[in-house]
Each structure stands twice: as structure tokens, then as C-alpha cells.
A and B are shown apart, each in its own frame.
Chain A
Amino acid sequence: MDFDLTPDEAAFRAEVRAFLTRELTPEVWREHRDLGEQGMWTPAFTKAFRRKLGAAGYIGMGWPREYGGGGRSRVYQAIFWDEMEYFRAPGLDRSITYVPNALLALGTEQQKQSLLPRVMRGELSWFVGYSEPEAGSDLAGLKAAAVEDPATGDFIITGQKSFSSDAHMADYGWVAVRTDPAMSRHRGISLFIVDMTLPGVQITKYPTLAGWTHHAVYFDQVRVPRSMMVGELNEGWRVVMGAIDFERAALASYGLVGFQLDRLLAWCGAERADGTRKLDDPLVQDELVRLAIEGEGTRLMTYWLASLHARGLMPQHETSLALLVKRETARRFDVAGLEMLGPFGPLRAGSPWAELEGDVEVEYRDRLYFQFAAGGFDITRNVVAQRGLGLPR
């Protein structure tokens, strides 16, 4: 039992902090922030930044050395994710976290050899095509289909994917489709890597209430070679489930919550126009202390999870639990932050008199999805109860 970073872990954290401090200057922040994008940065900057992450060796640091990885323990990855979130840095998404992790675990040798080096250099952007208009939490209801062309062995994909984050900037899609409608719902699904430049791929836009634009992807007779199938034919459900574990682990990071806490502490500690400080209000003090305790619990959950991985203990439902704690805590901060800002709370980014650049209001809108998307609160409660606590389905 050791709650401290080793000297080497501490040095790594200091190095990542220095990197992010150097790269994300106030000028960069002003120039490249873009509230019209899901990641809150311009796509061009996100892509350029991801290459810098690659060059600095931060992508794939936990992968085996035979694939060019850094062979570092999960604690290092947790530290990196933590810092990236704290700095609200661009590019910490599926493209460097769970898609390549799933590829590493489940892809063919040829896929790994051809794609992972490019992932590691930060060259590739991905979108994940699971959800469809009629297949949300019940993903096994998906209908987009791929039919094998017996002449070539290629698969021809037709159908619609919805809520497709960052599809407009993706080089590849990680797409689940039905390959055998006669099989039971969870079987008969296969997973394909789809080159987004192929003919028949079309992307449409939907404005979100958070202010950024989301996408949907249509596939019309898109021809994908069999070599781009991940896992066995009709065994895609297992790939999806494996990848979801990686996804939850990557999302269950502490940094965001730590940032929310520190920002709120700083804001409440600052003297206001009338000479008072929020921090001198006992009700505010009590709320901040409660939030700090929840924040500390979140931090410990994150590093507990990393420790379990580092010890090879293969956490399962613990990952979902850590994600639940992180997201519930982040939402609590969103709400508390807005309340503490009082009449300034609803002032939007760019408004005269907006406090904290209107970020708190933006985040209150944006992170609404924490409650229901990818490991949403209620679905996660089901998962933990059934998989972790052994309650009957």
C-alpha cells in the first residue's frame, strides 16, 4: 500500500506538466479554442497537438515495446490522462486511448503493424460508429449491415450511425455492423475499420445544445476489405465489449474534477468588487469542503483502478464504478459551480461580466451527456449491480 508517487512517477508527472504548460500558453488558448467543436479546440490544432503528443512519446506509453510502445505501467497512463484533463488539453479522446488499446488487444497482426505506428505518431483520428437512431443503450439492436461480396471477399456496408463524435475529422471509423441477421442479436455483429475517404461515406451535422456540432455518418454501399475486420466474423460483440472496458477506464480519470475544484477554490478566494470573498461565507465553505471530499474520493478511485491494472488484477466492474464516481462528481461540481456564481452563472462565454469566461455555464450544458452517454449513470448502475455485485438480471 503506497499512496505516494514513486520518484520516477513524480518525475514523469512533472515532465508532463512542464510539457502542457509550455504548449498551452495563453496565446495558444486564445487562438485555438473553439466552442463550436466537441473537443473545444479547432480540429487543425487538435490534430497538430496530437502529433506533438506522439513525438513526446505520450501515445502508447503503456503498450508492449514490440509495437513501439513504452511498456510503462498503468499508473503512468493514469498520470498522463489526469494531467491532460486538468489542463483541458486537446486530443485526449478515443483516437489515442481506447480505440488503439482495443486494436492492440483484439486486432490482427497486420492491422497492428500497419496502424499502431501511425496512431503512436499521433497521425490518426478516429470516430466510433456504434450508436444508431434505434440502437442506443441497447446496442445489440443495431441495423447497419455489411454483406460479403463473394467475388472479392470484401464487405459492402450500408446503414446509418448517429451521435458520431468527431466523425468530420476522422481518418478511420471503428464501426459495428450486422453481418448475419439470422443469428441472435448479440451474435451476427462484426467490427470493421472503415477508411473515411472511401466512396459512399457521407457525414451530416446536428447542432447540440452545448453549442458544438455533432455528426451522423451514412454508409451507402461502402466497400471494405476483409482485412479490415477486427476479430472474427460475427464475433464483433466481443470486440465492442472489450473496447468499452478500455473506454471506461480512459474516461474514469481524475484531472477534470481536480481542475473544477481548484478553479472554484481560486474563484471563491478572490476578492470581489464589493471587497467580499465568497470563501468567507460559511455555506460556501461547507459546500467547497464537501466537494473537495468527493474530489479526493474520485482521485483515489482513479489511482486505485490504475493500481489494480498495474498489479495485473484485471478490474472489470471496478472500471464502471470509477467512471460513475468520476462523472457524478464532475456533474456535482458543474451544478455547484453554477450555483456559486449566482446571477453571473447563466452569463455565456463572451458576454460582458461573464465570470470564468462563461466556462462554467458551457460545461454545465456540455457535460449533460455524462449522465446518459457511454457509461451513463443508470446503465452503469445496472452493470455494476449485475456484473460486480452478482445480482440477477
Chain B
Amino acid sequence: MDITLDEDQAMILRSAQEFAREALTPARIRALEADDNGFDARTWRRMADLGWAGVVFPERYGGTGLGMFELGLIVEALGQGAVPSPLFSTVVEAGLLLLEAGSEAQRAHWLPRIAAGGAILTTALLEPGGALGSAQVRACAQRAGAGFRLSGTKLFVRDAGAAAAIICLARSGAAADDLTWFMIPADAPGLARRRLQAAGGESLWEVTFADVAVPADAVVGAVGAGWPLAERLLLRGAALKAAELVGIGQASLDLTLEYARTRVQFGVPIGSFQGVQHHCTEMYRDLTVCRLLAWQACARLGAGRDGLREAAMAKAKASEAIPALTRTAHQIHGAVAYYRDYPLELYYHRAIAAAAAYGDAGHQRRALAGLMRGDLARFQGEHRHDLPVHQG
């Protein structure tokens, strides 16, 4: 057991933090929030040049062959710098879905393009019901000749405006879990996109499919086998959003400590007041716990192991603790950070956007409760004890 970063990992985190610090000015980040794409194309290309867009892909697809854990460190750093990017839509969602389930032709075509920063892709999963369950998927793909015709409404589709193609989960038969992923070019006739205005400038979209023609080779994975893939996509998203929340929390804490040391009231720095000190310790405490949980979740998924317990715990904790942390950060800043040109507000908004993604705290706790009742040993995890015999 060694719960510390090794040399290489520490290097990756440091260089990603350096990149994130200087990549975009706060003014530019704010401008991007109003932009339809929501990210800066040049910055994304630079990230791809650093190998980050392909960090989880094997080398034969243009990747660097590192893992989810390293990706988690990069995501944490980007969260810390509030750098918007299509990393989640393109790499975490679509890229890893294709890597896991795509045909060789799909992988060979798309993954090198993603890794090079040339292709933006996304996935479409959630619907107006809002909940993350297979029963919520109403979008429907009817067989039509060799292919399908797809109709339905998808919400919260990340970066749909910039995406070349959207991989959409739809019902492909009558059985409850008969769901299939279809890859559809964004300019397909019958496909329409509408931007949602979300906190933190998250580039979330409504995508409607009105009888869109889908050829047979657009299926990703096997027909009817879509839900298990969706579950794993959500798990990866949850673990990595937990890592992003850690970065958001770190930035908020750093700003707060700096302010507490320098802001003088009553003739002394406010950081010398015990009420302020205790707030800061609690922020740091929660952040540290969230970081360890997120690291663990990413490490497990990266090793290809069952990570439902670990990812759900990490995301459940971070989704509550980090937004709360940003509220405390504002408490300590007072009025100055209520104004938009103070950088803290970036994190205040991003925290709630990240908390809502890939299963909010309640969703994760529900998943854990299911595990607790259905498979207690898995719920307790691999480090569990057995109650001593004397505990009758």
C-alpha cells in the first residue's frame, strides 16, 4: 500500500497545474461561457499536443497508453484552473465508449482523430425524465431496412454544438433493457440542437432526433447491449467528475487562504480570527477526504477493476462537500467575491455543474444502498473485516 503519488504522477499533476494556470485568463474563461462552443479550440489543440486527449488510449490509436488515474490528475488540474475543454464529451464519454465497444473500423477512424485534437464527439444519454436509469430511455430506434430510424429528445448533451457526431442511446426493442448506442453525424437530417444555459458555462445541449435515418454500421457495440456500456460510462464520468470537483475545491481553498492572510479588518488579518480558521480547516479536511476518495476511484477503474463502490462514494461525497466548500469560501471573502471579476465565482458555479453530472449525490447514494442490500461484501469493499466472534 502506498497512497502517495509516484514521481511520474506528481510530474503529470504539476505540469497540468502549470498549464491550467496560464492557459486562459479569467476574462477569457468568462467570455467562453457565453460562447456557443464553450471552449477555446486552440487551447484544446495544445492539450492534445501534450497527449492529454489520448492519455487513456493505447498507442496504436495515437494514445499515450497511460490510464484513468493519470487522466484524473489532469482533470483535477483543469478543474483547478477552471479551464473549459471537451475532454469529458470527447474522451471520457465518446472516446472510452468507442474504445470499449466500437468496431475496429470505428476505433481506427475516430480514436486517432480524438487523440490528435481533431475530432469532437459526444454522447446523448439523459432525457426529460432526468433520472439515470435504463427505464428512463424513451428515445426509440425502429428497424428500417438494414438500418434504423431514430426519434427522441436528449438533454444535457455535452458539447453537442461542436461535435462532429453524437453517440446516442436509444430503445431498440420491446424488452426493458433493449437499448443500443448509435453514432450519428451532427449534420444528419432531422437532428436539431439547442443550447441550454447552465451554471459555469457548461456547454450542455438539447438534441432532438426527428425520424433520423441511421445506417446499420452506426451501431456502437452490439444491438440491445447498450445499458451495461452506459453504466460504465457513467461510472467513469462520476470518478472523473469527483476528480474535477477536487480541483475546484483546491482552487477555492487556495483563493480563500490567500485572502484570509491578507484581508485586514479590526486591525488584523481576518485569518487570525478563530471562526475563520475553523472554516478553513473544515474546507481542507473535506477536500483531503474527497481527494483520497477520487484517487481511489480513478485508480480502481484505471486498473480495470469493479469500481462501483469506490466511484459512487467519491462522487457522492464530492458532490455535497465541494459545493459546500465553495459556499464557505464565499463566506470568508465577503462582498468582494460577489462581483463577477473576482475569480472565486467561477468555482462557485462549476461546483454545482460538476455535482450534477454523471449522477448527483443522491443518485450515488441510491446506488450504494442497492449494493448494501444486494451484495454486502462488495459494499464493504476489499479491505473489509469480519466481525470478531466475541461480537455475538
A residues touching B (Cβ–Cβ < 8 Å)?
1-6, 9, 17, 20-21, 24-26, 28-29, 75, 83, 86-88, 258-259, 261-263, 265-266, 269, 279, 282, 285-286, 288-290, 292-293, 296-297, 299-301, 303-304, 306-308, 310-311, 313, 321, 324-325, 378, 380-382, 384-386, 388-393
Contacts and interface: CB of A to CB of B under 8 A. Distances in A.
20 contacts: A2-B3, A3-B1, A20-B388, A24-B390, A25-B389, A87-B388, A258-B385, A263-B387, A289-B369, A301-B288, A303-B1, A310-B2, A313-B4, A321-B288, A384-B284, A389-B257, A391-B269, A391-B271, A391-B276, A392-B269
A389 B368 contact: no
A391 B317 contact: no
Contact of B278 (A5, A311, A385, A390): A385
B277 A385 contact: yes
A384 B389 contact: no
B380 interface: yes
Given A265-B380, A285-B373, A297 B390 contact: no
Contact of B3 (A282, A304, A378): A304
Given A26-B390, A389-B281, A292 B313 contact: yes
B349 to A, nearest CB: 25
Nearest to B274: A382
Contacts of A265: 372, 376, 380
Contacts of B292: 297, 300-301, 304
Given A297-B292, A386-B277, A391-B277, A75 B1 contact: yes
Residue among A2, A25, A393 facing the most chain B CB atoms (10 A cut-off): A2
Contacts of B368: 289, 292-293
* Residue of B69, B268, B381, B387 most packed against chain A (CB within 10 A): B387
Given A4-B1, A9-B1, A303-B3, A292 B372 contact: yes
Interface on chain A toward B: helix, strand, loop, or mixed SS? helix
Task: Give the secondary structure class of B's interface.
Answer: helix
Contact of B6 (A1, A6, A310, A384): A1
Interface residues on B, range: 35 or more
The 10 A-B pairs of least Cβ separation, nearest first, read: A385-B277, A297-B289, A300-B292, A29-B390, A391-B271, A285-B369, A381-B281, A307-B3, A392-B272, A381-B278
Contact of B277 (A25, A325, A381): A381
Interface in B368-392: 368-369, 372-373, 376, 379-385, 387-392
Given A26-B389, A292-B313, A296-B381, A2 B1 contact: yes
A378 B4 contact: no
Contact of A297 (B284, B293, B380): B293
B282 interface: yes
Contacts of A290: 365
B70 to A, nearest CB: 10
Nearest to B278: A381
A318 to B, nearest CB: 8
A25 B388 CA distance: 9
Nearest to A392: B272
B380 to A, nearest CB: 7
B280 A385 contact: yes
Given A289-B368, A381-B282, A392 B261 contact: yes
B293 A296 contact: yes
Contact of B387 (A6, A262, A303, A307): A262
A9 to B, nearest CB: 6
A240 B271 CA distance: 27
A288 B115 CA distance: 42
A391 B9 contact: no
A391 B272 contact: yes
Nearest to A306: B1
Interface in B338-392: 365, 368-369, 372-373, 376, 379-385, 387-392
A378 B279 CA distance: 11
Interface string B14-54: 00000000000000000000000000000000000000000
Contacts of A378: 278
